[in-house]
Amino acid sequence: MDEIIKTILVYALPVLFAITLHEAAHGYAAKYFGDKTAYMLGRVSLNPAKHIDPFGTIILPVVMYAATALTGSPFLFGYAKPVPVNFGNLRKPKRDMVWVAFAGPGANFIMALCWMILLIALQAMQVDEPFFVEMANAGVVTNLVLFALNLFPIPPLDGGRILVGLLPHRYSYKLAQTEPYGFIIVMILATTQLLFKLWIAPLAFLAERVLQLIASPLSLLF
């Protein structure tokens, strides 16, 4: 039980930042490209309370983590309140949909870089308090996982919306029709570990290598 509480404390701040900035980025991008729906509803905000779903963001992940510790199952899942976007209000809906969708994972990529820089700084300053080092590591991991997961190319995930915006109309229409079943498909793939093994792990690994390359000058400086 102590280990569960420790893990929750280590991941709490990184997860809170990750989901807040992810959703706020969607809202900001939508406003920039012409849709003020999220802005009018107060969702273009860095206030975590605007984006947290009490069940999906807090209760479900905690319960599933506790179950993981007891059963050994690797399956964890959670979600925030999605930012409402009226794609019809965008200046060029098909094109701008891509940017609005990518804004969320893009924010997670940038946050992963920030946590990595913090980790490098802690190591350079020889901070030996394991809690802060573990939190920085958790920030990198959390954001890389969210980056990769949300880029999975099926609606309603961001990757699905990006693909809908990039494909020719005939194919994008067919892909968009899968949205009502997308959540079920993702859940099935997640519970069988296929989503993690075939998509999240490889993409997160690649993104981490890119981040290390970006941060390498700072590492050499320290």
- Domain for residue 23, yes or no? yes
- Domain for residue 42, yes or no? yes
**pLDDT for res 71:** 46
The answer to whether 23 is a known catalytic residue is yes
- Domain for residue 29, yes or no? yes
**pLDDT for res 186:** 87
Cis bond before residue 93 (omega within 30° of 0) = no
- Domain for residue 123, yes or no? yes
Tokens of 134: 């573990």
Gap between the Cα atoms of 66 and 199, Å rounded: 25
**pLDDT for res 123:** 86
- Contacts (Cβ under 8 Å, ≥6 apart) of 82: 23, 156
- Domain for residue 79, yes or no? yes
Q: Show the domain range for 117.
A: 2-217
Which of 107, 105, 120 minimizes the C-alpha distance to 46? 107
Q: Kindly list the averaged pLDDT for each block of 10 residues, start to end, along the chain of length 222.
A: 77 89 94 93 85 77 63 60 90 95 97 96 86 94 94 95 94 92 88 88 97 88 70
- Domain for residue 222, yes or no? no
- Total number of domains in the chain: 1
Which of 25, 50, 197, 216 minimizes the C-alpha distance to 111? 25
**pLDDT for res 126:** 85
User: What angle do helix axes 2-32 and 60-71 make, rounded to 10 degrees?
Assistant: 140
Which of 131, 35, 52 minimizes the C-alpha distance to 87? 35
Gap between the Cα atoms of 105 and 19, Å rounded: 10
The number of C-alpha atoms within 13 Å of 13 and in the hemisphere containing its C-beta is 12
Which of 23, 134, 179, 208 does the annotation list as catalytic? 23
